[in-house]
Amino acid sequence: MKFVSTRGQSPEIGFEDVLLSGPAPDGGLYVPQSWPKLDMLRLTGKKDLKYADLAATVLALYAGDPAWYEAIQHHARAAYAKFDDQRIAPLRELGPHRWLLELFHGPTLAFKDFALQVLAPLMNEALARRKTRALVLAATSGDTGAAAVAALAGQPNIDLIVLHPKGRISDIQRRQMTTSTASNVRNIAIEGTFDDAQALVKAVFADAEFAAKHKLAAINSINWIRIAAQAAYYLSTYLALRRPLTFSVPTGNFGDVFAGYVAKQMGTPIQKLIIATNANDILARALATGIYARKAVNATLSPAMDIQVASNFERLLFEAHGRDPAVLRDLMAQFAATGSMTIKPDALELMRKSFAADRVHEGETVATMKLVHRDSGILLDPHTAVGFTATRVAAPDEDVVTVATAHPAKFPEAVEMATGVKPALPERLRWILSAPERCDTLPNDPAALRHYIAAN
Ligand SMILES: *Cc1c(COP(=O)(O)O)cnc(C)c1O
C-alpha cells in the first residue's frame, strides 16, 4: 500500500516509512492511496476470531508487503495479551439500543493503549531493519504520555523523552510515567503550561540539523498506523452485535472518530459517527455551519478533549473534497492565516452523511455521570460521559455504541464530585501510588532542552 499526503506535494511513501513518520514534508497528513477492503463475508463467517488477529488483519491490509504480516500478527498478539480483559474491547449493555465499548483495559487505562502498544514494537522493528535508532520526543497533557511510556519502555532501538507541564497533570497521570524503571525512558517536568511544553518540542524538531543528529521521531496521533489500529475495535463491535451501528465518540484531535470512518470505508456497516465534543466545540460548529474556526481553549472535566484544532480533521476534509490536494492546500492556508476556513457545500453534505455532532456542557456531563451511576451502578469517566450524553442526537431505536475512552479511576476527582463514589485504581496499577518517581525539571527554554538531549 502506498500513502499520499493530503496536500499533494510530498512523494508517496510505503508502510515502513509511514510507521516512522509524523506529518508529510509538505505539512499534510499521510492517507492510504485507496481504501483496502475487508473480506466481510469471511470475517462474519468466522466464529471465534481473537481480537489481536482481527487487529492484525486490518493492519496487514495497509502493509501490503507480506514480509510484514508475521511481525504484525506477532506484535498484535503480544500487545493485547497485556490487557486485563480477555475480550480486549468488551461491550456492556446500557439500556435499550445503547451499549458501552470499554476501551480502558490496557496498561494505562485509556484507549490510546490500543494503538501505541502495537505501534511501538512495529516502529522498533522498522528501525532494526534499517539498522538505526530513534529518540521519540513527546509533550503530553496526560494520557498520551502514559501510554507512550508503557508502550516504548524497553524497546531496544527507541529512546523516549516525555515532557509534561510541571504541577499541571493529575498525580495518577504523572505517576504512570515517572514510576517507569525502563532505562530508555526519561521524564521532564517543564516549568510552564502544556502549550509551552508542546512549543518546546516543536522548536527542537524545527532545528533540522539537531533533529537529524539525534534521530528525533514523534508518535503523535497523526501517525497513520495509530488510526488504522483503532479501526479494529469498530470492526470487532460490528462482529459482536451484527447489525449496522452508530458510534458516539468523545472527540479531541479527531483520531478516534476518524478511525471509525476508516472502518466504514473498509466495509464495516456503520450508520453514523457522532462527534461528541465538550465546550471546545470547533468540530460541532463546523458540522453545523460549514465554518471551521478556532476559538480559545477552555479547561473542562474532560481534559483530553480540550483541543480547538483537531489535527486529524484534515484527513476528513481531504476525503470530503474529492481527495483534491489543491483544495486542501487552499483551505489549510486560509485556516493558518485567519484561524477559519469555509468547507465547500458539497463536502459538508458528504460529511453529514457519515457524521453527526453534539456539544456537551459541563453540567450535562456531570448530570450524565450521576444518572448512569444511579440507574445502572456504572461509573463513567467524564470523557465517556460526554460521549454518552451525545447519543441524544440519535433516534431512540437507533443502535448506538458509546466509546468509553478512559477508565473512571483515571479521573477520580470528577467522578467523585458527580457521583459521590471515588473509583478505585485497578489492583494491577496500585503499586504506582507508592513507587519512587524519576523525573528531571527543566525551564521553559529550547536551549535547555537541546542541552539535556545532547547530554543524555
Ligand atoms: C485522547 C483522548 C480522547 C480524544 O481522542 P482523539 O482521538 O484525540 O479525538 C478522548 N478521551 C480520552 C480519555 C483520551 O485520552
Q: What is the pLDDT of residues 374-387, one digit of tens each?
A: 999 999 999 999 99
Residues above pLDDT 70, as percent of the chain: 100
pLDDT value for 297: 85
| Strand bridging mode 216-217 / 270-277 | unpaired
pLDDT value for 48: 83
Q: How far apart are CA 177 and CA 156, in angstroms?
A: 18
Q: What is the largest CA-CA distance in the chain?
A: 60
**Measured between alpha carbons, how far is residue 422 from residues 17, 174, 195, 302, 412 in Å?**
44, 19, 30, 17, 6
**Is residue 455 packed enough to be buried (19+ CB in 10 Å), middle (13-18) or exposed (0-12)?**
exposed
Nearest to 37 by CA among 224, 215, 262: 262
At 330-375, the pLDDT tens digits run 999 999 999 999 999 999 999 999 999 999 999 999 999 999 999 9
Q: CB of 167 within 8 A of CB of 328? A: no
In the numeric block, the cell 460529511 is attached to 351
For the segment 38-64, the average pLDDT, to the nearest whole number, is 94
pLDDT value for 177: 96
Q: How far does the centroid of ligand 1 lie from the alpha carbon of residue 256, in Å?
A: 7
Q: How far apart are CA 170 and CA 158, in angstroms?
A: 27
Residue 218 predicted with pLDDT over 90: no
* Cβ-based neighbour number of residue 241 at 10 Å: 13
Residues above pLDDT 90, as percent of the chain: 85
Cell numbers given for 333: 492556508
At 106-147, the pLDDT tens digits run 999 999 999 999 999 999 999 999 999 999 999 887 788 999
Q: Can you list the positions of beta strands (E) in 347-425?
A: 355-359, 400-404
Q: CB of 222 within 8 A of CB of 18? A: no
Q: Which atom of ligand 1 is nearest to the CA of 253?
A: 8
pLDDT value for 21: 84
pLDDT value for 199: 84
Query: To test ligand 1's pocket by mutation, which of 144, 256, 365, 381 has the most ligand atoms within 8 angstroms of CB?
Result: 256
Helix (H, G, I), strand (E, B) or coil at 86: coil
Of 136-145, 155-164, 228-237, 309-318, the least confident:
136-145
Nearest to 379 by CA among 346, 318, 421: 421
Ligand 1 contacts CB of residue 251 (under 6 A): yes
Bridge partners (DSSP) of residue 272 are: 246
Q: How far apart are CA 379 and CA 85, in angstroms?
A: 18
The secondary structure of residue 386, as a DSSP letter, is H
Q: CB of 401 within 8 A of CB of 91? A: yes
* Cβ-based neighbour number of residue 48 at 10 Å: 5
Residue 406 predicted with pLDDT over 90: yes
Question: Which band of pLDDT confidence, cut at 50, 70 and 90, is reported for residue 390?
Answer: very high
Question: What residues does each domain of the chain span?
Answer: 91-106+225-419
Look at the chain and count its residues: 456
For the segment 165-173, the average pLDDT, to the nearest whole number, is 87
Q: How far apart are CA 92 and CA 102, in angstroms?
A: 8
| Strand bridging mode 440-443 / 185-191 | parallel
Alpha helices in 94-189 (DSSP H): 112-129, 143-152, 171-178
Of 26-35, 100-109, 177-186, 195-204, the least confident:
195-204
Residue 220 predicted with pLDDT over 80: no
* Cβ-based neighbour number of residue 64 at 10 Å: 15
For 329, residues 6+ apart whose C-beta sits below 8 A from its C-beta are 7, 8, 9
pLDDT value for 318: 98
Burial 389-411 (b: 16+ CB within 10 A, else e): bbbebbeeeebbbbbbbbbbbbb
- The residue type of 382 is P
Q: How far does the centroid of ligand 1 lie from the alpha carbon of residue 66, in Å?
A: 32
Helix (H, G, I), strand (E, B) or coil at 193: coil
pLDDT value for 196: 86
For the segment 396-417, the average pLDDT, to the nearest whole number, is 96
Cell numbers given for 323: 481527495
Residue 296 predicted with pLDDT over 80: yes
Helix (H, G, I), strand (E, B) or coil at 434: coil
Q: How far apart are CA 174 and CA 105, in angstroms?
A: 19
For the segment 44-64, the average pLDDT, to the nearest whole number, is 94
Cα 30 versus chain centre, distance? 16
From the list 112, 264, 272, 410, the catalytic residue is 112
The secondary structure of residue 410, as a DSSP letter, is G
Question: Which band of pLDDT confidence, cut at 50, 70 and 90, is reported for residue 193?
Answer: confident
For 101, residues 6+ apart whose C-beta sits below 8 A from its C-beta are 89, 90, 91, 233, 237, 247, 401, 402, 403, 404
Q: CB of 332 within 8 A of CB of 314? A: yes
What pTM was computed for the model?
0.96
pLDDT value for 202: 84
CATH T-level topology, domain 91-106+225-419: Rossmann fold (3.40.50)
Q: How far apart are CA 211 and CA 133, in angstroms?
A: 13
Q: How far apart are CA 237 and CA 264, in angstroms?
A: 12
Q: CB of 92 within 8 A of CB of 99? A: yes
pLDDT value for 170: 83
* Cβ-based neighbour number of residue 353 at 10 Å: 8
Residue ID of nearest Cα to ligand 1 atom 8: 253
Question: Which band of pLDDT confidence, cut at 50, 70 and 90, is reported for residue 79?
Answer: very high
pLDDT value for 57: 96
Please say if 112 is a catalytic residue. Answer: yes
Average predicted confidence (pLDDT) for the chain: 95
Residue 171 predicted with pLDDT over 80: yes
Helix (H, G, I), strand (E, B) or coil at 278: coil
Ligand 1 contacts CB of residue 226 (under 6 A): no
Residue ID of nearest Cα to ligand 1 atom 3: 304
At 420-439, the pLDDT tens digits run 999 999 999 999 999 999 99
Ligand 1 contacts CB of residue 406 (under 6 A): yes
Q: How far does the centroid of ligand 1 lie from the alpha carbon of residue 219, in Å?
A: 15
